[in-house]
């Protein structure tokens, strides 16, 4: 990998690796300019590797990834369909990373926050006898599942 990347920049792999390690990249994406954003999006569309993108823009490759995600995340309101997908995925999955992957334009934090809001809407007031029975039945049936999963039934 390093040999391939180094040949692009006419350097030996060791020098390229050291250059990247020693470079003092600013780790805040607040310093991305419109030109940086343009080059970032263009480079990703062209299928360039993150290391190459980082060198081209002059930012750390991980920072480029973070910025790209930030530029592409969906900040719009949640749709009913997205809520359904979120709830169905939570029923099947325990891992929030996998849950967020089911909603391509939403981040892990957005999914967690939305789920908490949905659950909070349903959790006002005292438990009814029917809810108590549902909880008992669901707990008996899905003993190996987590509480997030179980809460989707109530």
The DSSP code sequence of the chain is -HHHHHHHTTS-HHHHHHHHHH------GGG--HHHHHHHHHHHHTT--HHHHHHHHTS-HHHHHHHHHHHHS--SPPPHHHHHHHHHHHHH---HHHHHHTSTTS-HHHHHHHHHHHHHHH--SPPPHHHHHHHHHHHHHTTTS-HHHHHTT-
pTM of the model: 0.40
Domain housing 135: 80-151
Residues 84 and 144 in one domain: yes
Q: Which residue, 72, 93, 128, sits at the end of a domain?
A: 72
Asked which of 72, 98, 118 is the last residue of a domain, the reply is 72
Same domain, yes or no: 98 and 138: yes
Q: Are residues 63 and 84 in the same domain?
A: no
Please, which pLDDT band fits residue 110 given cuts at 50, 70 and 90?
confident
Q: Which of 45, 72, 99 is the last residue of a domain?
A: 72
114 in the same domain as 62: no
89 and 60, same structural domain? no
Tens digits of residue pLDDT in 26-79: 456 678 899 999 999 899 889 899 899 989 898 888 788 878 877 876 667 888
């Amino acid at each position: 990998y390093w040999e391939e990347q180094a040949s692009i920049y006419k350097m030996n792999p060791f020098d390229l690796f050291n250059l990247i390690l020693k470079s003092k990249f600013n780790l805040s994406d607040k310093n991305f300019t419109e030109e940086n954003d343009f080059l970032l999006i263009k480079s990703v569309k062209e299928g360039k590797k993150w290391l190459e993108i980082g060198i081209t823009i002059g930012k750390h490759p991980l920072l480029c990834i973070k910025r790209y995600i930030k530029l592409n995340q969906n900040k719009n309101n949640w749709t009913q369909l997205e809520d359904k997908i979120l709830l169905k995925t939570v029923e099947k999955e325990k891992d929030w990373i996998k849950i967020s992957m089911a909603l391509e334009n939403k981040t892990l934090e957005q999914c967690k926050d939305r789920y908490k809001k949905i659950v909070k809407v349903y959790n006002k007031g005292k438990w009814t006898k029917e809810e108590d029975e549902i909880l008992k039945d669901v707990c008996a049936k899905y003993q190996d599942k987590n509480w997030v999963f179980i809460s989707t039934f109530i």
